[in-house]
Chain A
């Protein structure tokens, strides 16, 4: 159900993000989703890629601190309030969202959101019980 995500520590310096994407591009890694969380001095870059283990190894060798975490990719019906209904569901199930960001829509135009939960299993139960589509990967979308 859950999919692997690579998180990378970045200083807020010019070219930091480009250094990461250069490593991935030159090794033929495909980025499916990307989000940058930013503080004044440092940030965390989060990536969904087609080969997470290789990505992690490549980034470590290039001198980055990178970690693998598990997230959920949730497909949201394409109508107003689609995301709101998902968040309501989670609130009702008392599941805390650590953070979330949007991924590229599916070919059929459906929105995809990446969620990071502390209690991943509970989140899966709540979403599945409500019939929400959890994508097994972003590779096919």
Chain B
């Protein structure tokens, strides 16, 4: 661990696996895959029963491609075995529990041994280094602390890197802005939507945002949103990726090239599948991301279906990392909804909103059903940029928004202009869709 504390900008020993030759990486992956499958088979009923159904044993894993024979794990498996059914370590070896809030019913619980926490810290150190954060940086960690993995995950990674971490957690916008200004903050970690909220508030209070790097994750956001954040604030905004079921943040991160997120493949093995057939797709094809943990002890995850839609990129990256990348995740297969027979992703609506000049993406999609007919209303906050004193101009903006959405979706939906801050700000993941169609 002491080798992590390298001087600013220097070579970070912990980042070595980022640059391993692919052949060497594959050796490590296979060795770890066999050991994690053995662990899951021997210690977790669900994994053993599913493998037995398919007449598989740990010995069936002879090469990395044999992973494809193993059954998938889905989020419901965690709910069905709530709270501890997928643990592969006794409680005496488990040193931390986190839980993610399910939108309905019970949360899902995840566990870490001491070694798991070390791996977690290591991958966050690599995440932050990849985003250009180094010793001497002052990190304002506005991810929520607590059961959510974001806060503590980034916290220990930041400390591991040797940076200064301010554990401010989410919320209390005024205090966030005060700390940002007074403590010489150079790095902000938060969800992108919360950062947009901070920018907005800082403009209202005439406090400039003087941060160099933004480490943003925990919700899908778009490239156009990045461009806007970077143009408005002068910071460099990086996307990071992770999910509690796998480890929390630290599964993958963008590098200085900002062209996809490198997956820390020595710990997490990615696959892309066709979400309908489950068939593995070749690199370069879009599909659902599936992850297998290669070193997790307390809670190994075999072929976990993330519901995130992306593409695996195997072309070399200009940064020199040999790790494959995923394209930034702009949508989840879960987020998709169907309206009047059309598949809609919130990200498509976001793209349309951004095309109309000056519209910051504070919006909400409300779905209702009126006499059996589905209605979709896009509520968009009126920013100073689009506001006009002339009714004609405001109506023109209103119409342009409707046109842009129709152009992207192929259907006409209603658009409501609403007052600023009338859409609830989340301190965690932004909730873009309110479906009131439940009967």
Query: A residues near B, CB below 8 A?
Result: 5, 7, 9-11, 16, 37, 39, 41-42, 44, 46, 60-61, 63-65, 67, 69, 98-99, 116
Residue in B383, B389, B417 whose beta carbon sits within 8 Å of that of A69 in the complex? B389
On whether the beta carbons of A67 and B384 are closer than 8 Å, the reply is yes
On whether the beta carbons of B391 and A44 are closer than 8 Å, the reply is yes
Hey, which chain B residues are within 8 Å of A99, CB to CB? 390-391
A65 to B382, CA, bound (A): 7
Distance (Å) between the CB of B375 and the closest chain A CB?
A: 14
Closest to B384 in A: A65
Contact A67/B389 with A9-B417, A39-B395 known, Cβ cut-off 8 Å: yes
On whether the beta carbons of A44 and B420 are closer than 8 Å, the reply is no
Query: B residues near A, CB below 8 A?
Result: 204-205, 382-384, 387-391, 394-395, 416-422
Summarize B's interface: helix, strand, loop or mixed: loop
Hey, which chain B residues are within 8 Å of A7, CB to CB? 387, 389
On whether the beta carbons of B395 and A61 are closer than 8 Å, the reply is no
Hey, which chain A residues are within 8 Å of B416, CB to CB? 11, 41-42
On whether the beta carbons of B419 and A9 are closer than 8 Å, the reply is yes
Distance (Å) between the CB of A43 and the closest chain B CB?
A: 9
Contact A11/B422 with A60-B204, A67-B389, A116-B389 known, Cβ cut-off 8 Å: yes
Hey, which chain A residues are within 8 Å of B395, CB to CB? 39
On whether the beta carbons of A64 and B418 are closer than 8 Å, the reply is no
Hey, which chain A residues are within 8 Å of B390, CB to CB? 98-99, 116
Hey, which chain B residues are within 8 Å of A46, CB to CB? 389
On whether the beta carbons of B204 and A11 are closer than 8 Å, the reply is no
On whether the beta carbons of B417 and A11 are closer than 8 Å, the reply is yes
On whether the beta carbons of B420 and A42 are closer than 8 Å, the reply is no
Hey, which chain B residues are within 8 Å of A41, CB to CB? 416-417
Distance (Å) between the CB of B377 and the closest chain A CB?
A: 10
On whether the beta carbons of B419 and A11 are closer than 8 Å, the reply is yes
Pairs across A and B, CB under 8 Å, 9 listed: A9-B382, A41-B417, A42-B417, A60-B204, A61-B204, A61-B205, A63-B420, A65-B383, A67-B388
Summarize A's interface: helix, strand, loop or mixed: strand
Hey, which chain B residues are within 8 Å of A65, CB to CB? 382-384, 387, 419-420
Hey, which chain B residues are within 8 Å of A69, CB to CB? 389
Hey, which chain B residues are within 8 Å of A11, CB to CB? 416-419, 422
Distance (Å) between the CB of A77 and the closest chain B CB?
A: 28
Distance (Å) between the CB of B422 and the closest chain A CB?
A: 7
Distance (Å) between the CB of B416 and the closest chain A CB?
A: 6
Closest to B200 in A: A63
A109 to B387, CA, bound (A): 36
Closest to B414 in A: A41
A65 to B383, CA, bound (A): 6
On whether the beta carbons of B389 and A42 are closer than 8 Å, the reply is no
On whether the beta carbons of B391 and A37 are closer than 8 Å, the reply is yes
Distance (Å) between the CB of A140 and the closest chain B CB?
A: 25
Hey, which chain A residues are within 8 Å of B389, CB to CB? 5, 7, 44, 46, 67, 69, 116
Hey, which chain B residues are within 8 Å of A37, CB to CB? 391
Closest to A38 in B: B391
A9 to B394, CA, bound (A): 10
Closest to B419 in A: A11
Distance (Å) between the CB of A9 and the closest chain B CB?
A: 5
A60 to B420, CA, bound (A): 9
On whether the beta carbons of B387 and A67 are closer than 8 Å, the reply is yes
A42 to B381, CA, bound (A): 12
Hey, which chain B residues are within 8 Å of A9, CB to CB? 382, 387, 394, 417, 419-420
A75 to B418, CA, bound (A): 36
Distance (Å) between the CB of A10 and the closest chain B CB?
A: 7
Closest to A43 in B: B391
A90 to B394, CA, bound (A): 25
On whether the beta carbons of B419 and A63 are closer than 8 Å, the reply is yes
Hey, which chain B residues are within 8 Å of A39, CB to CB? 391, 395
A16 to B422, CA, bound (A): 12
A9 to B204, CA, bound (A): 16
Most buried by B among A5, A16, A39: A39
